Structure 1
Amino acid sequence: MSMRFGVFVPQGWKNDLDEIADPVEQYEAMTQVAKLADAGPWDSIWVYDHFHTFPEPTMNTTFEAWTVTATLARDTTRVNIGQMVGCNGYRHPSLYAKMASTVDVASRGRLYAGLGAGWYEHEWKAYGYEWSEVPARMAAFREAVQIVHRMWTEDEPVFQGKHYSIDKPINEPKGVRKPHPSFWLGGGGEKVTLKLVAQYADGSNLGNGDPEIIKQKLAILREHCDRLDRDYDRIAKSTSLNLQPGDTTADMTRKVEQIREAGADYVIAYFPRVAYDHEPLLRFAEEVIPQFA
């Protein structure tokens, strides 16, 4: 099974820009990694949709996801650009759909539009978003996915739900990629998220690099696809891979091989010090990716 690869750019969320004092230089460090990926053989670059650093909120840079997505779309020419994943609670789904359509055009069809239910409670409350427990967030997420899909595929979409409603919003242009911008859903919830993936998504992100979890969740996804008569093979099945400083080529290859054996066909790699040291990124591209392409 051939695989595709993406890479997270250093955005600040994991304190990965803290050693650079000037915010302009921080942004340029992020852009430089994006341009290296654009030179190949990476399929995509990714950002997180967060406002505060993780695992602890600190007074450090975290660049906003959709602003970054739009600018990187113009700083690159080849790679796809996505969010892993957009937080549904931070934007009304109708606005999300409109923003994604615009960026899909700006990138000439290179957007991977990611969406998830969200989870970083501290961040929600700090920015004034109403926090709710899992059942309510998942219910809102289910409605949001339907609204986004309708706004990308219908001229006069109407939706009336418990959490959201739309009444014939005009969304022109709807994007460049056909039949609509590439839609990726994040999360492994077996009853809601994975069913939504089978119904609406072009890509899924689950398992956080753990082969056993990946295998378990993909089995559930396949069951949903079978029930809905959806072609399982047409869905990109991605997972995140957190690499460590000092990982050898053999270490990286072994981790990817385990992920492939679990059934994933897409790896999104995170290199914690890539803003300061490009060598692991370049070595992964030169020595690991060709083994799985």
Structure 2
Amino acid sequence: MESKIGIIIPQGWRLDLPATVSPRDQFLLIVKTAHALEELGFTSGWLYDHFHTYPLVKEESVFEAWTTLTALAMATERLRLGTIVTCNSYRNPALLAKMASVFDVLSNGRLEFGIGAGWYQQEYEGYGYRFDPNPDRIRMLGEAVQIVKELWTSGRCEFEGKYYSLKGALNFPLPVQKPHPPVLIGGGGEKLTLRVVAKYADMFNTGGDLETYRRKLQVLANHCDKVGRNYEDIRKTYMATVSLGREQGEAERKIGELASYFGGLEEFKKKHAVGTPDEVARKLGEFKDLGVSYFILYFRDAHQRRSLELFRDEVMQRL
């Protein structure tokens, strides 16, 4: 089966937009990248749901995900669009269900709904959100996905949980996609998050090295058995940074600064795909052999198009 390939569009969160141009020109660069993805035949374009830069906090542009996705939906025709991933804590789930429904209508059924429990404590505190303990945030995620799905399918929701209470929330228009847009849940926590994935997700997303990913799939399969879910019904997706070059040295130079914030180049290469087309195809192919059928990849230089073309021409057909 040919893999689906999604590309994370540089939006500023990872200090990946040129700081020397105006915000308007930065936005036009985001649109240009989405156009390139559509023209080159990629499945989807994705945005991070974050508000200020990472791994360094700087006073530079970061384009908010849902606002920007809406603009990209108006600028494209076929490209599927999603968040990798929406932080559940940043928006009430009933409001999020409404936003997602309207987005699916205006994009004519192109939403990929990515959601997770949230993790960026500095951002939570900076924006005045309460940073609850991990178990609470994950259980909130489970409740939220139930609410979103109910509002998507019936248009109405009564809900009384530990974290959320809804009294007759309405959601019209309903999404275009039936029974609802695909729900991708991101995260790798083995006790709680993967249980939420087993219960509610259409797609599972995480990153990491090969053995870690293999273990996550085994744990997910165990959770599926316990909750009575068919493991094969959940599409496995893999997220990684790709730095591609005609020679290994070129690929390493392009990613060197980013890698320096994550343990150095050699450590970075264990969890990401850095190298020539042959090397990148081999690395990603190992994950395909584990059952991955959807790759969601970040190219720091995606707005320059050259790496995307090289990937399309020499890697994509091998996945």
Distance 2:153 2:197 in 1: 17
Structure 1 residue 108 displacement after superposition: 0.5
State the Cα distance separating 1:290 from its structure 2 match: 1.0
**Number of residue equivalences:** 290
2:271 aligned partner: none
Contact kept? 2:112, 2:181, Cα under 8 Å = yes
- 1:166 Cα deviation after fit: 0.8
Which structure 1 segments of 5+ residues have no match? none
Residue 268 of structure 1 corresponds to which residue in structure 2?
296
Is 1:213 the counterpart of 2:212? The answer is yes
Cα RMSD of the aligned pairs, angstroms, is 1.5
- Partner secondary structure for residue 156 of structure 2: coil
Question: Which residue in the other structure is 1:136 paired with?
Answer: 136
Q: Secondary structure at the match of 2:232?
A: helix
- Structure 1 position 197 matched with structure 2 position 192: no
Contact 1:218 1:263 in 2 (8 A): no
Larger mean CA deviation between 152-161 and 120-129 belongs to 152-161
Q: Could you tell me how far 1:263 is from its partner in structure 2?
A: 2.7
* Kept in 2: contact 1:155–1:168 (CA 8 A): no
The DSSP-based 3-state class of the residue aligned with 1:39 is helix
Q: Is the 8 A contact 1:214 1:264 kept in 2?
A: no
1:250 to 278, 300, 304: 278
The whole-number CA distance in structure 2 between the counterparts of 1:204 and 1:113 is 11
Gaps in structure 2 of 5+ consecutive residues: 245-250, 252-274
Is residue 184 of structure 2 the alignment partner of residue 156 of structure 1? no
Distance, in Å, in 2 between the alignment partners of 1:45 and 1:168 is 34
| 1:288 aligned residue | 315
Alignment of 1:35-54 (within 5 A): 35-54=35-54
Q: Which runs of 4+ in 1 moved over 4 A?
A: none
Q: SS of the counterpart of 1:169?
A: strand
Give the secondary-structure state (helix, strand or coil) at the position aligned to 1:265: strand
Q: Where in structure 2 are the equivalents of 1:91-106 lying within 5 Å?
A: 91-106=91-106
- For 1:57, the equivalent position in structure 2 comes to 57
Quote the offset at 1:155 in angstroms.
Answer: 3.6
Share of identical aligned residues, percent?
A: 41
2:40 paired with 1:79: no
CA distance in 1, matches of 2:168, 2:232: 33
With over 3 angstroms needed to count, the CA separation of the structure-2 counterparts of 1:20 and 1:240, relative to structure 1, is farther
Look up the SS of the partner of 1:267 in the other structure.
strand
Comparing 65-74 with 226-235, greater Cα deviation is found at: 226-235
CA distance in 1, matches of 2:112, 2:80: 6
**More displaced stretch, 107-116 vs 227-236:** 227-236
Contact 1:13–1:53 (Cα < 8 Å) also in 2: yes
| TM-score relative to the length of structure 1 | 0.94
1:209–1:259 contact (8 Å) kept in structure 2:
no
Correspondence 1:9 to 2:36:
no
Following TM superposition, by how much is the alpha carbon of 1:175 offset from its aligned partner in structure 2, in angstroms?
A: 0.3
